[in-house]
Amino acid sequence: MKENKNILVSHYQRKKIGKVFSLESIASFVRESCDHKFKFQKNVNHFLSIGILRRVLDSFYAIFKQGNINHVMGDIHYIGIFLDSKKTILTIADCVSLGRLKGIKRVIIWFFWYYIPIRRSAKVITISEYVKKEILSYVNCDPDKIEVIHVPILLEIKKIEKKYVTSKPNILHVGSTENKNLYRHVMAIRDIPSRFIFVGEPSKTQLKFIEKNCKDFLIESNLTEKGLLDIYDSCDLLLFASTYEGFGMPIIEAQARGLPVITSNITSMPEVAGTGAFLVDPCNVDEISYAAKKILSDQSYREHLISQGYSNLSRFSKNKIAEKYIRVYTEILNINT
């Protein structure tokens, strides 16, 4: 096998509009953390992933940007169809579109985003055991082909000596998509004297709902990393009882900043939270409300969750995650030499 430093790893990423997506952050982390082992080439699509022609053109361009290892990261799985199958790794963050879509559109997405790309990849990386099970339920392939590599904790881990406000706490909600469960979150804490902190860009309907049901609230969007840290540090509780997550990054971000966490007992969230969260049924408003009241009123239990949260983070350390990517890349090299 060649010296790793002479090996070119070609990353393929989608063209984005404004926002930084989670897989783009992971790709940046991999390049920064593994550049002592490999050379990296970042390839961003020329076009947005919209329409047949744009996608075909970007797939054609991708053929000429191949390295010793090709790693497709982001919701452009179809590019893997055109790459050398023995050298290609595909990252799949979730299968949410297959659960949401119906009819011919669902068949097309299944075939071109999942079935063929998975079949034509040497390795598939996903971010949780839950998503691995999802993938296997949709595509019949060797389970050993799918490697689970969790998302690294990228925020600074800081054990903060802070006074938790329980008389009128800041309760944090992250995200505006339907799965983030905004309406049930608001209903669950409506009778708890608190300030509702919303991170994201609410729709007009969501904003009206917040205004109607929250006496005190703050909406923050387009935050820098420092701004996000400041929000976590100013809050007393993370409410993240989502109805679906491939991973659930806010869980470990909140744990890293010493926040007690409420999250869901479904999909990937128990796996990610470990013992550092109060797990609830995301469809049960009373259960979410009870969890919030329990954490805010019981100091001993709150401190237990915070302590368990800090302990949980060792699974997501940058070094551990980087080592897993290096191992997978090396495995692909060994197959091809």
Q: What is the 3-state secondary structure (H, E, C) of the chain?
A: CCCHHHCEEEEEECCCCCCCCHHHHHHHHHHHHHCCCCEEEEEECCCCCCCHHHHHHHHHHHHCCCCCEEEECCCCHHHHHHCCHHHEEEEECCCHHHHHCCHHHHHHHHHHHHHHHHHCCCEEEECCHHHHHHHHHHCCCCHHHEEECCCCCCCCCCCCCCCCCCCCCEEEEECCCHHHCHHHHHHHHCCCCCEEEEECCCCHHHHHHHHHHCCCEEEECCCCHHHHHHHHHHCCEEEECCCCCCCCHHHHHHHHCCCCEEEECCCCHHHHHCCCCEEECCCCHHHHHHHHHHHHHCHHHHHHHHHHHHHHHHHHCHHHHHHHHHHHHHHHHHHCC
Residue 285 C-alpha from the chain's centroid: 24
Residue 21: per-residue pLDDT: 56
Residue carrying structure tokens 């996608």: 55
CA–CA distance from 123 to each of 28, 74, 133 (Å)?
20, 15, 15
User: Structural domains in the chain?
Assistant: 4-152+317-335 (3.40.50.2000), 170-314 (3.40.50.2000)
In whole angstroms, give the CA distance from residue 88 to residue 85: 5
* Tens-digit pLDDT string for the chain (337 aa): 456 778 999 999 999 865 555 789 999 999 999 999 999 999 999 999 999 999 999 999 999 999 999 999 988 999 999 999 999 999 999 999 998 999 999 999 999 999 999 999 999 999 999 999 999 999 999 999 999 999 999 988 877 777 888 889 999 999 999 999 999 999 999 999 999 999 999 999 999 999 999 999 999 998 888 999 999 999 999 999 999 999 999 999 999 999 999 999 999 999 999 999 999 999 999 999 999 999 999 999 999 999 999 999 999 999 999 999 999 999 999 988 7
What is the model's pLDDT at position 55?
A: 96
**Given this model, what pLDDT does residue 3 score?**
60
Residue 23's pLDDT is 87
User: Helix crossing, 249-256 with 225-234: angle to 10°?
Assistant: 70
- CA-wise closest residue to 75 among 51, 92, 87: 92
Q: Among 129, 322, 73, which residue's Cα sits nearest to residue 330?
A: 322
pLDDT for 116: 98
How large is the C-alpha radius of gyration of the chain?
21
* Backbone angles phi and psi of 238, in degrees to 5: -100, 125
Closest C-alpha among 128, 48, 164 to residue 315: 128
pLDDT of residue 2: 54
Q: What is the separation, in whole angstroms, between the first and last Cα of the chain?
A: 6
Residue 136 is predicted with a pLDDT of 98
CB 111 within 8 A of CB 81: no
Contact in structure between 64 and 76 (CB atoms under 8 Å): no
